[in-house]
Structure 1
Amino acid sequence: MPRNARRTTLADIAQAAGVSVATVSKVVNDRGDVAPRTRARVQELLHQHHYLAPVFRHTESVEGPTIEVQFKGGLKSYVAETLEGIIDSAAESGASVVISRASRAPHWARDLVSAGRRAVIAITSVYTTTHLNELARAGLPLVVLDPLHLPDNRVNSVGATNFAGGLAATQHLLSLGHRRIAYLGGPTMAVCNQARMHGYRAAMEAQGAPVRDAYVRPGEFTYETGLLGAVALLDLEEPPTAIFAGNDEIALGAMEAARTRGLRIPEDLSVVGFDDTSLAQMASPPLTTVRQPLREMGGAALRTALRLANGEKVESHHIELATELVVRASTAPPRGATSAHR
């Protein structure tokens, strides 16, 4: 059902069932004074028409709208810091937030509406056409944070300038004199990973630095990807002198792989991450990384969800916030080279 389609009413159900609106209302509110056959017929029609009782109207005036925030996987630093932005923005807006792991139970979207949710914000979750159709039938707007895949045109999303971030990270390493620079990334088909990798390639090509096939390794946005990927890179006959990692967790895994080889960061290997989570500052040495404004992204997602829940139009289906390179102690010129700052 399109977002602006008319919602099925009690009168529609009553006409289809051949009963009064009062009878349908009794069934919806689980009143006992309805004949079993009539109740069954009305319930079947309610199900067929995806009727959703607007229970949220009874609580919004007191508590404000409630937004469901779903995430997939573990509660990692990236997710936690994004959630902080959502929660802070909700407090400022007078809204409530319910946090849960992504669910695909039958009729999950209808259940969310029945529980009083007005919109859904998804972090690191993947939604298929089937899921989007169910959300549309339920009249629930969806906002995706940093989408892993190109979103359907029915989906609003919030992200960051991933290409510019990848470009800045690689330009930084090139300016220090590195030419053998590798990219350890996330899933091949993830939109954010592709953009970061393309930024890396664009910077390398602009400087005439070769991008070797063995230097580009996809994986997951995990510590293990960094650990195993860096081991493979360091085993090469001509290993890289610098690694640009697709996120901070991958970067920390790469740093640990170097440590176990007796290599020092940044004297023997420079490493750059992406996100600027709390992990970056706690790393040893502190990690040079691309700051993705995670809290601000969470706030933007919450405000967008509230506008959509109120039936307002938004200027753009996708919002991108600026990234920024944060230079710390994990990068330096390669051995025997001088930096070429511009």
Structure 2
Amino acid sequence: MVTSKDVAKAANVSHMTVSRAFQPGSSIKPETRERVLAIAQKLNYIPNYNAKSLVMNRNFSVGLFFSSMEGTSEVFLGDLVSQIYQLLPQNYLLSVNSVEQLSGTTDKNYVIQSILGRFDGIIVATQSEKDDPFIESLQELKIPVVVMNRYVEKKEVYNVSTNESQGIRELVDHLVAQKIKTAGTIKGYPGFYSTQKRHREFVEDCQRAGIAIVNTAVEDGMYNIPSGYQAMKEIIQRNEILPNVIFCGNDDMAIGAIKACHDLNIRVPQDLSIVGFDDTSYAQYISPGLTTVHKPYKEMAKKAMEILLQLMKGESLNEYKYKIDSQLVIRESVKKQK
């Protein structure tokens, strides 16, 4: 097996120079790095990261923890994992996990044993206050951690969240401009912070704008397509006269709702307008194109990873809280009322 010493000899550099050539951001000259890497490739040299991790006290692994895999949209999960993976330093692995799996136990030692020595840093994509004990455990272990998605009240937690109020306000203003007078909702996964917040803010903004909420057109969902389909079917079957619009807590449920309307001969948007939340990658490709609130998850992921990398380097940051605005994306699923 070719070793770093073989590469160093062939490149006429020191053993440490070879090691630095494989470290992004090291002070080695660019031309020296290129020459060392070219020789390493020619000799089929593969760095031994297991040995390096022992020497450098690193695991070359970042953990990404979601509140619950069950209540997390598959598209949102996939897009977020892809975005964070692209931002990983070279030679790092990404481990995707569920907070629920660890926070469901009362044995704190089990949580510690499951985390300690496995990750150089952790991002928690939180949806629920139930995640707070898990986040506190990570802080006690002195592991670099960034919490994203939900705003966390605790001051000394590095936190990247979305100003969802901005996008919902823009959405309701758009509905008013389209002369929408009545609305229903399909809520998201029970117990998730986003479920309660989005529904509450939509209802409050509608009330201020003079849009009446039809109580018989309010249903629970599970943040997935089948639940949106079933909830929409129940709303249609229960209401002889439908409201002008249905606000769905995420795009997955909006897709299910549109399919239910199609199956029950309700035209979208001619007979019923439907709007969503998230602006996932397929929202623009369905028919009709979905009017939705853009959740800046890519921007959040980029900021969270940027902060985590600084913490992993031992750098200190002045700010703990970062909030990014959401915004309305207008497509074809809303029709102006006469």
TM over 0.5: yes
Asked if structure 2 preserves the Cα contact closer than 8 Å seen for 1:182 and 1:240, the reply is: yes
Residue 88 (structure 2) aligns with? 90
Are positions 1:144 and 2:147 aligned together? yes
Moved more, 208-217 or 172-181: 208-217
> Sequence identity, in percent?
23
Contact 1:143 1:155 in 2 (8 A): yes
Superposition map of 1:294-309 within 5 A: 294-309=297-312
**Partner deviation per Cα, 1:71-127 (whole Å, 9 max, x = no partner):** 341671111212232123324xx5724222224286344443323x22211235655
Partner of 1:69: 64
Provide the alpha-carbon RMSD of the alignment: 2.8
Q: 1:250 aligns with which of 238, 243, 253?
A: 253
Mapped partners of 2:233, 2:116: distance in 1: 48
**What TM-score, normalized to structure 2?**
0.71
Give per-residue Cα distances to partners, 1:231-286, cap 9 Å, x unaligned.
22222243212111111001001101111110111111111111111120221222
In the other structure, the counterpart of 1:330 is 333
For this pair of structures, how many residues does the alignment match?
275
Write the distance in 2 (CA, Å) between the matches of 1:316 and 1:185: 33
5+ residue gaps, structure 1, are 1-54, 338-342
Output one character per residue of 1:138-160: Cα deviation in whole Å (capped at 9) or x when no partner: 2123323313x856545433221
> What is the 5 A alignment of 1:279-318?
279-318=282-321
The answer for the alignment partner of 2:233 in structure 1 is: 231
Post-superposition shift, 1:134? 3.1
Structure 1's 69 and 128: CA in aligned 2 closer, same or farther, altered over 3 A?
Answer: closer
- SS of the residue 1:213 aligns to: strand
Change (3 A) 1:241 1:101: same
Give, as a single letter, the amino acid of the residue that structure 2 aligns with 1:169.
Answer: L
Report if aligned partners of 1:124, 1:146 keep a CA contact under 8 Å in 2: yes
Q: Which residue of 2 aligns with 1:204?
A: 206
CA distance in 1, matches of 2:154, 2:195: 18
Structure 2 partner of 1:25:
none
1:58 aligns with 2:55: yes
- Helix, strand or coil at the partner of 2:239: coil
TM-score under structure 1 normalisation? Answer: 0.71
Q: 3-state DSSP class of the match of 2:88? A: helix
Q: Distance in 1 between matches of 2:124 and 2:168?
A: 24
Post-superposition offset of 1:291:
1.1
Moved more, 320-329 or 196-205: 196-205
Q: Which ranges of structure 2 fall in alignment gaps of 5 or more residues? A: 1-51
Q: Does structure 1 retain, via aligned residues, the 8 Å contact 2:162–2:326?
A: yes
Distance of 2:111 and 2:69 partners within structure 1: 18
Match of 2:270 in 1: 267
Pair 1:80-2:78 in alignment = yes
Take 1:227 and 1:314, find their aligned partners in 2: how far apart are those partners? 45
- Contact in 1 for aligned 2:270/2:335 (Cα 8 Å): yes
Indicate conservation of the 8 Å contact 2:152/2:159, yes or no. Answer: no
- Could you say if the C-alpha distance between residues 228 and 311 of structure 1 is closer, same or farther in structure 2, counting changes exceeding 3 Å? same
- More deviation in 227-236 or 271-280? 227-236
Distance 1:60 1:268, change over 3 A: farther
Find the counterpart in structure 1 of residue 21 from structure 2: none
Cα distance change on mapping 1:212 and 1:164 into 2, 3 Å: same
- Tell me how far 1:298 sits from its aligned partner: 0.9
- C-alpha spacing 1:187/1:59, structure 2 compared with 1 (3 Å): same
Does the Cα contact within 8 Å between 1:84 and 1:295 map onto a contact in 2? no
